[in-house]
């Protein structure tokens, strides 16, 4: 007679280990299998690990629901934005009218027909930057420095590309792009834990606000077709955005639309070149790049967590969640749930159990095909999802044209990891050195 398997001990400190930073999936699986809604007493949160429970929590994150997205209490003792280096942004507003108003006034620019107007900016930026590093590689070849092209995709392309797209959409002068990029780098580097990081980010925020002040004033007086002009002239429910609200939204756009998009591009190429037969399939049919983007989000997207706060005592996954408790929806775990996806630890752009169509909502599940969990749900569905997809896929297709016979350089590389302790950011590749033929 076989003795029953004993449940393993799950220690809260496991979340903080170097092993987890490099590869969180073994711990995710242990929690999914043995304690799917896990009370992490060290970080004072309930960790939700299974796809169905995460989907359930998303559906219950609505006005009057059991969970709220906003970790900030609009009626609380702290001034709104005082505890965030970005200032007042809609990410902290929860389900109230402030969130609906702010989202309603800006969201339309990033989806559907309005997004089409920005595609030339994305395409021009990608082409310009690809031409730049291709020319540098050719010059290396001509001077005898290298017999092959070589690039660190992170530092030479993907880290800079989405920021310059955003700068172009905002209508900033092209000669200011380097300065704008430096503000972003300082702002993002200061998004870690600790007062020193916070002060660094605040300085960058104030520099950004000072930079934007005359530009916003000019657009109020002389509106153009750029995004800042749309913000200053947009009206909803008889109200318009203040200068301060516009500045805070630009800061959010930088962090939300910059780091996550560049990490997406890096992860797509890391996974393709680590699964070379799939790279060859995409090389032969570039339209498959859309599937690469979708499977990348399922396999190991940049955002592994979504925070929630319980608005009342409730139950989730057969566990009681107390009123006011912090809840961490672990998208990275739900996207690897064996109850939903076959061979979830394999990157496979041809899998038949993942929904590859247009993202409409998470938890789309029909006829054995489920969507990834990466873009949120309902009123908290990511405003920039369509733009992120367009940028990553368009850049990916252009890179296919210029990276001839690409291969990962034989150097130490941890692959897709969480940032080091204390440093802000999301999960991604730190460096991605690629060798390619120049002809």
Among the residue ranges 41-55, 56-70, 208-222, the one predicted with the least confidence is: 56-70
Residue 103 pLDDT greater than 50, yes or no = no
In this prediction, residue 87 has a pLDDT band, given cuts at 50, 70 and 90, of low
Q: Where are the domains of the chain?
A: 38-437
For the chain, report the end-to-end CA distance as a whole number of angstroms.
67
pLDDT in tens, 22-55: 999 999 999 999 999 999 999 999 999 999 999 9
Of 353, 350, 354, 371, residue with least CA distance to 362: 371
pLDDT above 50: residue 90: no
Least confident window among 132-141, 178-187, 318-327: 132-141
At 292 the pLDDT is 98
Nearest Cα to 267, choosing from 413, 386, 133? 413
The token pair that represents 339 in the structure block: 């109850």
Contact 99, 111 (CB under 8 A): no
Specify whether the CB–CB gap between 373 and 344 falls below 8 A: no
- Residue 434, SS3 per DSSP: strand
Range 38-437: architecture per CATH: Orthogonal Bundle (1.10)
How big is the CA angle at 202 (ends 109 and 105), to the nearest 5 degrees?
20
- pLDDT score of 296: 97
Per residue in 395-415, pLDDT (tens digit) is 899 889 888 899 999 888 999
What is the rounded CA–CA span in Å between residue 239 and residue 437? 55
The answer on pLDDT for 91 being more than 80 is no
Which has the higher per-residue pLDDT, 247 or 102? 247
Nearest to 21 by CA among 301, 427, 299, 432: 427
- Give tens-digit pLDDT for 307-352: 899 999 999 999 999 999 999 999 999 999 999 999 999 999 999 9
**pLDDT of res. 377:** 56
| Letter string b/e over residues 287-315, b meaning 16 or more CB atoms within 10 A of that residue's CB | ebbbbbbbbbbbbbbbbbebbbbbbeebe
- Whole-model pTM over 0.85: no
428, β-bridge pairs: 417
CA distances to 164, 177, 189, 204, 431 from 174, in Å: 9, 5, 23, 20, 27
Of 350, 343, 215, the closest CA to residue 281 belongs to 350
């Amino acid at each position: 007679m076989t003795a029953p398997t004993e449940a393993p001990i799950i220690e809260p400190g496991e979340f903080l280990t170097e092993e987890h930073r490099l590869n969180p999936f073994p711990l995710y699986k242990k929690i999914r299998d043995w304690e799917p809604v896990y009370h992490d007493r060290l970080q004072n949160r309930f960790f939700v690990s299974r796809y169905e429970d995460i989907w359930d929590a998303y559906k219950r994150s609505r006005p009057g629901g059991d969970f709220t997205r906003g970790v900030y209490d609009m009626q609380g003792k702290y001034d709104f934005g005082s505890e965030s280096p970005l200032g007042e942004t809609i990410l902290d507003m929860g389900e109230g009218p402030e969130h609906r108003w702010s989202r309603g006034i800006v969201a339309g620019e990033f989806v559907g027909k309005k997004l089409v107007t920005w595609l030339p900016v994305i395409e021009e930026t990608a082409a310009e930057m690809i031409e730049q590093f291709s020319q540098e590689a050719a010059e290396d070849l001509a001077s005898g420095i290298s017999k092959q092209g070589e690039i660190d995709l992170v530092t030479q392309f993907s880290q800079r590309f989405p920021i310059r797209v955003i700068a172009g959409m905002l209508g900033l002068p092209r000669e200011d792009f380097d300065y704008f990029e430096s503000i972003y780098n300082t702002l993002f580097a200061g998004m870690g834990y600790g007062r020193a990081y916070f002060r660094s980010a605040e300085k960058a925020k104030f520099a950004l606000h000072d930079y934007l002040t005359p530009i916003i004033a000019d657009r109020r007086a002389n509106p153009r077709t750029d995004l800042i002009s749309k913000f200053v002239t947009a009206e909803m429910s008889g109200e318009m955005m203040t200068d301060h609200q516009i500045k805070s939204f630009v800061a959010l756009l930088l962090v939300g639309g910059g780091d996550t998009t560049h990490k997406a591009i890096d992860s797509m190429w890391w996974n393709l070149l680590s699964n070379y037969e799939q790279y060859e399939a995409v090389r032969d049919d570039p339209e498959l790049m859309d599937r690469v983007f979708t499977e990348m989000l399922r396999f190991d997207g940049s955002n592994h967590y979504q925070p929630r706060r319980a608005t009342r005592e409730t139950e989730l996954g057969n566990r009681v969640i107390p009123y006011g408790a912090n809840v961490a929806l672990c998208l990275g775990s739900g996207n690897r749930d064996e109850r939903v996806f076959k061979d979830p630890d394999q990157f496979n752009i041809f899998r038949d159990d993942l929904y590859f169509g247009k993202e409409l909502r998470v938890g789309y599940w029909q006829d054995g095909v489920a969507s990834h969990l990466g873009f949120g749900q309902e009123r908290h569905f990511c405003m920039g999802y369509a733009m992120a997809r367009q940028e990553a896929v368009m850049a990916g297709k252009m890179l296919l044209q210029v990276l001839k016979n690409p291969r990962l350089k034989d150097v130490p590389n941890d692959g897709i990891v969480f940032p080091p302790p204390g440093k802000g950011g999301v999960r991604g590749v730190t460096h991605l050195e690629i060798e390619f033929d120049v002809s």
